[in-house]
Copies of this chain bind each other. A is one copy, B any other.
Amino acid sequence: MKCEPFIKILGGITAVKGVQAAGVACGIKKAGLDLALIASTPPAATAGVFTTNHVKAAPVLLCKRKLHMGRLSALVANSGNANACTGRQGEEDARAMARITAEALRIPEDEVYVASTGVIGQPLDMEKVAWGIRHAASLLRPDGGPDAARAIMTTDAFPKEAAVAYEHGGKRVTVGGMAKGAGMIRPRMATMLAFLATDASVEKNPLQEALRHSVDHSFNLITVDGDTSTNDTVILFANGVSGTAPLKSGEDMERFQMALNHVTMTLARAIVSDGEGATKLVEVRVEGARTPEEARQVAFSVANSLLVKTAFFGEDPNWGRVMAAIGASGVELRPEAIDIYFDEVKIVERGVGLGREQELEAARVMRGRVFRLEIHLGQGRASAQVLTTDLNYDYVKINASYRS
């Protein structure tokens, strides 16, 4: 596949033509922006990927239902309260958020998507929310993306935005988005939200397919199905404002996919970098597995091992823990075929350590903020990679006191 380089652009979701946004403070959180509104004119084809958790927050259930129609005019999201485990009242509140937004923007209620993130199990203060929505509606602007990105933050240390553009038949197509999430231990039960937009013209079904593929190669590298929060939501909408013909398949679609992947991968890396208290960003790469599934299994076993992650923090190339985590993955393997590297430094050959000098070299690699742990299983040609972080005091501190 040939393709021109992307025109990388700064900015996020409002870099996309036809998209406006706003972020306001309405008092759900003790301080700071806590309600985001994003609007598309004209209404956009919509795709979504949601948590696989069996306990789903009210707004997730609502969005899933709306997706059957697949048309979006606006998206409203609050932080500070997840509206999860809130029973019937929670469902009514999520619907009310859509209704109030629809009234404020004079659009059909069906075309309003809703997301929430924050504390579980407390009812939303709908008076504050209603005021916030109306206020945000009055502030919608073509450069409001950064405020909206800030308004969906919870334990995030920084807002997360990304956008890229490319030329397609003389038209400029943009893909942009924002995300929140800061999971030291993969986002696990810390909610991940991502809102993505494009001015390409893509119909609902190919759009859904592109989103699923992109999520698998970005956000799902930092989390795994069945281990997600009650609120995880990724929404992508395409409003066609760029003026291109509808993208269907072949090279056109591949180029769009690449642009989308670039945005989702950038946001995913930002989430991991913002891992609660993280001091290291580590790419765990597994090579030489029999199948991609087995490669993934080994990569996740290592990336999620608390003993490996505390060793990252301690800058200790404790490859014994890596070997133990590989062995604990459940994948059938021969220890005596395994090689392990930190960046370019080989530290284990055929299952046995290469000695003190190599360990000192590896320790030097680990002093960096970003490095790669590479594992060669010597069984086949499949590979996988996962992003992870260290585990340190700050993770405990942030999460022991999150509600207080």
- Residues on A close to B: CB < 8 A? 53-56, 82, 84-87, 119-122, 185, 188-190, 226-230, 305-307, 310-311, 313-314, 316, 318-321, 323-333, 335-336, 348, 350-353, 391-393, 395-397, 399-404
Contacts and interface: CB of A to CB of B under 8 A. Distances in A.
Interface of A is mostly: loop
Contacts of A84: 320, 323-324
A83 to B, nearest CB: 11
Given A55-B327, A328-B227, A399-B306, A321 B189 contact: yes
A237 B190 CA distance: 47
B87 A336 contact: yes
A55 B326 contact: yes
Contacts of A353: 85, 121-122
12 contacts: A55-B323, A84-B323, A85-B335, A85-B348, A86-B352, A120-B320, A185-B306, A229-B324, A230-B327, A311-B399, A316-B401, A318-B402
Given A56-B327, A119-B320, A352 B400 contact: no
A209 to B, nearest CB: 25
Nearest to A404: B316
A324 B392 contact: no
Contacts of A328: 53-55, 188-189, 226-229
Given A188-B307, A189-B321, A190-B307, A121 B352 contact: yes
Nearest to A317: B403
Contacts of A401: 314, 316
Nearest to A350: B87
A320 B188 contact: no
B87 A310 contact: no
A310 B54 contact: no
Nearest to A399: B310
A403 B331 contact: no
Contact of A85 (B119, B323, B402): B323
Contacts of A228: 328
Contacts of A324: 53, 55, 84, 120, 189, 229-230
A54 B333 contact: yes
A241 to B, nearest CB: 38
Contacts of A311: 399-400
A87 B352 contact: yes
A313 B395 CA distance: 12
A275 to B, nearest CB: 12
A200 B226 CA distance: 47
Given A54-B333, A84-B320, A228-B328, 10 more contacts: A53-B328, A55-B324, A82-B320, A120-B321, A121-B320, A230-B323, A311-B399, A316-B403, A391-B396, A396-B396
Nearest to A89: B352
